[in-house]
Structure 1
Amino acid sequence: MRRLIPLVVLPLLLLAGCTTAPDGADDGEGGPSGSRWQPRPGTAWQWQLRGRIDTSVDVPVYDIDGFDQSEKTVAALHREDRKVICYLSTGAWEDWRPDAGKFPKSVIGKGNGWEGERWLDIRRLDVLEPLMAARLDMCREKGFDAVEPDNMDGYKNRTGFPLKARDQLRYNRLIAGLAHERGMAVGLKNDLDQIPELVDDFDFAVNEQCAQYGECAALSPFVKADKAVFHVEYEVPTRSFCAQSRRLKLSSMLKKYELGVWRRVC
């Protein structure tokens, strides 16, 4: 989950529309996962969740919204030899998604700080597994190579449910398994405390603001396993984190909170 922004700031953001390897670097294929894509440390990327996708950014990996973007967009990126990651929220309910009405009220908890989003009761695998499987089917059918499941650390937040670390581990592994069953790679989003236990279950990591909060070293198990760490900062300049990112072999860049086209790489 993106770090919380006060709700009073959100309307301003909604009005607004450093990789350690150079842009256009090796796409990081290979590794122990066989035919499944395995991005390696230092792989350059673009993360765009808002607006029309700008396919001209010269990077080998794009991370885009799974619902909002079409099979045609994914195919266009593939023609440019890009790998494409499907962004989904798997730990929170979003009231604007086309399947929002399929979630019973009993699994919808407190707001997570973003307008229209509420935490899910991840203990309810009987309810959530088929819903998430359907979302992952969508990603596969559109041709995505991988999945970025968001809101994967509810147990550390005030969700309205008594979630425990073991609940999160079980749920995160379920999501990883569902992605793998469909031939897609999957990234662990944030959830730094559980990296030692989950690094073997995921193919890469996605992190927000580890430099700002002094947490980047916690991502080292992924790099040691030859797995990429896709990292963004929002509030600190590149001069404050790029040297550390290069040292830790993170794929780092500066983005604006609305996650449009704009980026500044290390």
Structure 2
Amino acid sequence: MNAIVKNTLLAGALSLLIAACGGSNAPPADSPRIAPAPSAMWRPALNDTWQWQLKEKINTSYPVAVYDIDLFDTPITTIQALQAAGKKVVCYFSAGSAENWRSDFASFQAADIGRALSEWEGENWLDTRSANVRKIMRTRLDLALSKGCNGVEPDNVDGYANPSGFSLSAATQLEYNRFLASEAHQRKLAVALKNDVRQLAELVGDFDFAVNEECHSYNECDAYQSFTLNGKPVFNAEYASSYATDVTARQTLCADARARNFHTLVLPLALNDGLRYSCEP
């Protein structure tokens, strides 16, 4: 008997023995099924364009490379439709605040929850040193993976610079933000650094791109050179009404954004697609 035939017969006998004993390589029928991590991690390119919409039904018609949408509220079918159209999907969630309308809000402990965020009803700062908070964030990243997101945008990652009600520091913020980046990368999810302007230079090596709000209005855009000079895109949103109503103001804004190699949008603060101006040429 040649070796090939012998090995084939042995393999068949082994399969019959496993079947007879009730063995199987398949998971139990009731076991949770999470989509496997992609074999290669996507990272946005410096010239990628974007759209940002977190509320209401997503307008999928914009000719951009990247969509940034809400992790919890966006159906998987919308994510899949965007990807079928050749777009990458970044999923937003708050990593530094508890929002009382989220489905996992009850998972936070009383000790995790601090002061209210100014002007954002139902939202409170979190103690990002908490092991329980980090467990919840890992679960949110698992949700992003299971829904097929290409990347994530963890928000409110600058609690140390705000009146959070906790003794957070620059050092604890750096450690927490690096935790988020590492956990995202373990799942092969690209990760954005949201605002946290003071720590851009220290965190550029950990994050794949930046999402900024109103650096033009607050004169903070210079700090983002640390990202663009390293080939990492900056997705910027401006909310000032003058940019929407004054063509000259918008032209000045866009000229500055293009000079910086930013991808700047003029959007409503509600991020509901109520208006949109793009500085892309």
1:123 is the counterpart of 2:129: yes
**Matched residue, 2:259:** 247
SS at match of 1:64: strand
TM-score normalized by the length of structure 1: 0.85
Q: Matches of 1:143 and 1:123 in 2, distance apart?
A: 28
* Mapping of residues 51-62 of structure 1, within 5 Å: 51-62=56-67
* Mapping of residues 195-234 of structure 1, within 5 Å: 195-234=200-239
- Normalized per residue, the structure richer in helix is 2
Name which structure has the greater RCO, CA cutoff 8 Å, separation 6+. Answer: 1
SS at match of 1:227: coil
5+ residue gaps, structure 1, are 1-33
* Mapping of residues 130-149 of structure 1, within 5 Å: 130-149=135-154
SS at match of 1:242: helix
**Structure with bigger gyration radius:** 2
Return the match for 2:117 from 94, 112, 118: 112
1:264 is the counterpart of 2:269: no
2:276 partner letter: R
> CA deviation digits over 1:209-230, x for unaligned, max 9?
0000111111111101101100
* Mapping of residues 64-143 of structure 1, within 5 Å: 64-113=69-118, 114-124=120-130, 126-143=131-148
Displacement of 1:240 after TM fit?
3.5
**Matched residue, 2:35:** none
Q: Matches of 1:220 and 1:170 in 2, distance apart?
A: 22
> CA deviation digits over 1:136-190, x for unaligned, max 9?
1001100000000000100000000111000100000001111101110000000
Structure 1 contact 208–231 (Cα < 8 Å) conserved: yes
Structure 1 contact 90–152 (Cα < 8 Å) conserved: yes
**Matched residue, 1:17:** none
1:203 partner letter: D
Greater CA drift, 234-243 or 249-258:
234-243
Structure 1 contact 245–252 (Cα < 8 Å) conserved: yes
> CA deviation digits over 1:71-129, x for unaligned, max 9?
111100001000000000000000000000000010100011211100001121x1122
1:42 partner letter: N
**Matched residue, 1:43:** 48
Structure 2 contact 128–134 (Cα < 8 Å) conserved: no
Q: Matches of 2:165 and 2:251 in 1, distance apart?
A: 39
Displacement of 1:239 after TM fit?
2.3
1:167 is the counterpart of 2:172: yes
SS at match of 2:121: coil
**Matched residue, 1:183:** 188
Q: Matches of 1:42 and 1:251 in 2, distance apart?
A: 8
Q: Matches of 1:239 and 1:233 in 2, distance apart?
A: 13
**Matched residue, 1:5:** none
SS at match of 1:93: strand
Q: Matches of 2:122 and 2:223 in 1, distance apart?
A: 31
Percent sequence identity over matched residues? 45
Number of residue-to-residue matches in the alignment: 232
1:199 partner letter: V
Q: Which runs of 4+ in 1 moved over 4 A?
A: none
Q: Matches of 2:136 and 2:69 in 1, distance apart?
A: 20
Displacement of 1:40 after TM fit?
2.1
TM-score normalized by the length of structure 2: 0.81
Q: CA RMSD in A?
A: 1.0
Q: Matches of 2:108 and 2:56 in 1, distance apart?
A: 27
SS at match of 1:258: coil
1:83 partner letter: K
